[in-house]
Amino acid sequence: MKQFTVKWFAAYRAATGLAQEQVQSSAGSPSELFAEMTKQHPDLGQYSRALVAINDQMASWDATLSGGEQVLFFPPVAGG
Amino acid sequence: MTHPELNTPTPPSSTGYFAISSESLNRKALRASLQDVSSGAFVLFEGWVRDHNEGRKVLQLEYEVYEPLAITEGNLILQEARERFAISLAAAVHRQGLLKLTEPAVLVGVSAAHRGAAFDACRYIIDDVKARLPIWKREHYADGTTEWVNCKVKD
């Protein structure tokens, strides 16, 4: 199992009740990790998936996670 | 470091800057920072807080910003605009926190030798700011409820 720091923002923070959590997971990508997290936090299911960042860099949903990363899940953005 | 006129944490580069501000946005300061003797055109876009969205009456708006990435990605958008369009200077400032009706939430300014490039670059910047930056908007409605905008899965 790998260890990740997951950060939640805006609607996701409201759905999970957490700004940040430490997660043990075998997920190989943000996409797999988000799917696992949705099982733990079913309220995430009501929101769309949007952008993801790894260690403060924008990343793709199928990027490789090797463990130790900080994974930032962003709900659909609405600036402007 | 603080920009002397905008009172924001991001120092301007020689060709423009992106900043996040918790204070009211200062359009005069933004315009002054983009003045340039080779420019014959200046375009300013302002995004304002309006009183309705999708049929609901809005009383105020709240913006949440993940600042480290918003500033990096915002400066990248400005750099892309400078590469794609024949402009002199470009800058943008986005609010965070609670905003009242009619307050500007975002300012985008572009100076250029000619107006066409200034309009095109300004449009490019605001469209990408809305689509790419980690910024979220929560509407506060007249009935006392709130909602994060655009987040719900469509039925």
Chain A residues 44-73 within an 8 A CB cutoff of chain B: 45-48, 51, 53, 56, 58, 72
Q: Distance (Å, rounded) from C-alpha A4 to C-alpha A7?
A: 10
Contacts of B132 in chain A (CB under 8 A): 51, 58, 77
Q: Distance (Å, rounded) from C-alpha B106 to C-alpha B8?
A: 13
Compute and round to an integer the Cα radius of gyration of chain A. 12
Q: Does the beta carbon of B119 lie under 8 angstroms from any beta carbon of chain A?
A: no
Q: Does the beta carbon of A19 lie under 8 angstroms from any beta carbon of chain B?
A: no
Q: Distance (Å, rounded) from C-alpha B32 to C-alpha B6?
A: 10
Chain B residues 73-112 within an 8 A CB cutoff of chain A: 73, 94, 105-106
Q: Distance (Å, rounded) from C-alpha A36 to C-alpha A13?
A: 16
CA angle at B35 for the pair B31 and B41, rounded to the nearest 5°: 90
Q: Does the beta carbon of A76 lie under 8 angstroms from any beta carbon of chain B?
A: yes
d(CA A10, nearest CA chain B) in Å: 6
ipTM of the complex: 0.90
Tens digits of pLDDT across chain B (155 residues)? 344 445 444 445 567 799 999 999 999 999 999 999 999 999 999 999 999 998 999 999 999 999 999 999 999 999 999 999 999 999 999 999 999 999 999 999 999 999 999 999 999 999 999 999 999 999 999 999 999 988 777 55
- What is the SS3 assignment for A5-28? EEEECHHHHHHHCCCEEEEEECCC
